[in-house]
Amino acid sequence: MEPLISLTSVVVPLLRDNVDTDAIIPAEWLRSLASDPGEGLFARWRYRADGSADPEFVLNDSRFRDARILLTGANFGCGSSRENAVWALQRFGIRCVIARSYSDIFQENCFKNGVLPIIASPGDHALLVRCCAAEASYVVSVDVAAATVTTRDGAVFTFELDLRRSNRLMSGSDEIDATLALADRIDAFRALHRLAKPWLYPANGDGSDG
Amino acid sequence: MAAMTLFDRLFDDHVIAALGDGVSLLQIDRHLVHEVSSAAAFQQLRNGGRTVASPKQTFATQDHIVSTKPGRNDTTFAQGIEFIRYLRGNCTEFGITLFDVDDAQQGIVHVVAAETGLALPGCTLVCGDSHTATLGAFGALAWGIGSSEVAHVLATQTLPLKKARPMRIRIDGKLPHGVTPKDVILKVIRTFGIAAGVGHAVEYCGSTIRGMPMEGRMTICNMSIELGARAGFIAPDETTFEYLSGRTYAPKGRAFDEALSAWRALQSDDDAPFAKTLDLDVAAMKPQISWGTTPGDVVDIDEPVPDVDEMAPERRAAALRALSYMAVPPGHKLEGLPIDVVFIGSCTNSRLSDLRDAAAAIDGRKVSPHVRAIVVPGSTAVRYAAEREGLHRTFADAGFEWREAGCSMCVAINDDAVPPGARCVATSNRNFEGRQGRGARTHLASPLTAVASAIAGCIARPAVTG
Ligand code: SF4
DSSP string, A143-160: ETTTTEEEETTS-EEE--
Q: Is the pLDDT of residue A113 over 90?
A: yes
Mutate to test the interface with B, among A80, A87, A166, A177 (most CBs of B within 10 A): A80
Q: Which pLDDT value is given to residue A33?
A: 86
Q: Which pLDDT value is given to residue A199?
A: 94
Is B305 in the same domain as B442?
yes
User: Which segments of B363-436 does DSSP mark as H helices, in order?
Assistant: 380-388, 391-398
Ligand 1: which residue has its CA nearest to atom 4? B347
Q: Do residues B175 and B216 lie in contact, with contact meaning Cβ atoms separated by under 8 Å?
A: no
Q: Which of B257, B268, B264 is nearest to B236 (CA)?
A: B264
Question: Does the predicted model carry a pTM greater than 0.90?
Answer: yes
Is B143 in the same domain as B170?
no
* Cβ neighbours for A130, distance < 8 A, ≥ 6 positions apart: none
Last residue of a domain, one of B247, B281, B315: B281
In whole angstroms, what is the distance from residue B409 CA to residue B441 CA?
12
Q: Which of B53, B147, B124, B22 is nearest to A180 (CA)?
A: B53
Superfamily designation of domain A6-172? Aconitase, domain 4 (3.20.19.10)
What confidence category does residue A210 fall into, taking pLDDT thresholds of 50, 70 and 90? very low
B80 within some domain: yes
Last residue of a domain, one of B228, B253, B281: B281
Q: Is the pLDDT of residue A203 over 80?
A: no
A104 to chain B: which residues are within 8 Å by CB? 164, 198-199, 228-230
Closest residue to B249, CB basis, from A80, A84, A206: A206
Pairing, β A6-14 against β A139-143: antiparallel
Check A32 against B82: CB less than 8 A apart. Answer: yes
CA dihedral A92, A97, A99, A101 (to 10 degrees): 100
Q: What CATH number should be reported for the domain holding residue B231?
A: 3.40.1060.10
Pairing, β A148-151 against β A139-143: antiparallel
Q: What CATH number should be reported for the domain holding residue B151?
A: 3.30.499.10
What confidence category does residue A204 fall into, taking pLDDT thresholds of 50, 70 and 90? low
CA of B9 from ligand 1 middle (Å) equals 28
Beta strands in B298-361 (DSSP E): 298-300, 341-344
In whole angstroms, what is the distance from residue A93 CA to residue B59 CA?
35
Q: Which pLDDT value is given to residue A28?
A: 86
Is B320 in the same domain as B412?
yes
What secondary structure letter does DSSP report for B148?
Answer: H
User: Is A81 an interface residue toward B (CB < 8 Å)?
Assistant: yes
Q: Which pLDDT value is given to residue A161?
A: 96
> Which residue of chain A comes nearest to B415, CA vs CA?
A28
Is B15 in the same domain as B75?
yes
CA of B447 from ligand 1 middle (Å) equals 16
Mean pLDDT in chain A?
Answer: 93
Average pLDDT over residues A51-78: 95
Residues with CB under 6 A from ligand 1: B 63-64, 108-110, 129, 131, 346-347, 407, 410-411, 428-429
Write down the ipTM of this complex: 0.93
Range of the domain at B307: 288-465
Alpha carbon A74 to its chain's center:
14
Is B98 in the same domain as B146?
yes
Q: Which pLDDT value is given to residue A5?
A: 96
For B242, counting Cβ atoms within 10 Å of its Cβ (0-12 exposed, 13-18 middle, 19+ buried), the class is exposed
Amino acid type, B118: L
Outline which parts of chain A fall under CATH 3.20.19.10: 6-172
Is B143 in the same domain as B11?
yes
Amino acid type, A104: D
Amino acid type, B379: S
> What is the mean pLDDT for each group of 10 consecutive residues in chain B (466 residues)?
94 97 96 96 96 97 97 96 97 98 97 98 97 98 95 98 97 97 98 96 98 98 96 98 97 95 97 97 98 97 92 88 94 96 98 98 97 98 98 98 98 95 98 94 98 98 70
Q: Which helix (H) or strand (E) holds B97?
A: strand B97-99
Is B122 in the same domain as B178?
no
Check A200 against B39: CB less than 8 A apart. Answer: no
Q: Do residues A157 and A120 lie in contact, with contact meaning Cβ atoms separated by under 8 Å?
A: yes
Q: In 3-state terms, what secondary structure has residue B30?
A: strand
Q: Which pLDDT value is given to residue A209?
A: 45
Is B204 in the same domain as B319?
no
In whole angstroms, what is the distance from residue B208 CA to residue A155 CA?
52
Q: Do residues B72 and B66 lie in contact, with contact meaning Cβ atoms separated by under 8 Å?
A: yes
Q: Which pLDDT value is given to residue A1?
A: 80
In whole angstroms, what is the distance from residue A168 CA to residue A171 CA?
5
Contacts 24+ apart (CB under 8 A), A192-200: A193/B14, A193/B27, A196/B262, A197/B122, A197/B259, A197/B262, A198/B251, A198/B255, A198/B258, A199/B120, A199/B250, A199/B251, A199/B255, A199/B256, A199/B258, A199/B259, A200/B29, A200/B30, A200/B57, A200/B120, A200/B122, A200/B123
Name the A residues in 92-151 with CB < 8 Å from any B CB: 101, 103-105, 108-109, 112-113
Pairing, β B158-162 against β B23-27: antiparallel
Smallest CA–CA separation between A162 and chain B, in Å?
A: 6
User: Is A22 an interface residue toward B (CB < 8 Å)?
Assistant: yes
**pLDDT > 90 in chain A, percent:** 85
Is B205 in the same domain as B338?
no
B194 to chain A: which residues are within 8 Å by CB? 18, 75, 78
> Which residue of chain A comes nearest to B42, CA vs CA?
A33
Question: What is the number of structural domains in chain B?
Answer: 3
Q: Is the pLDDT of residue A102 over 60?
A: yes
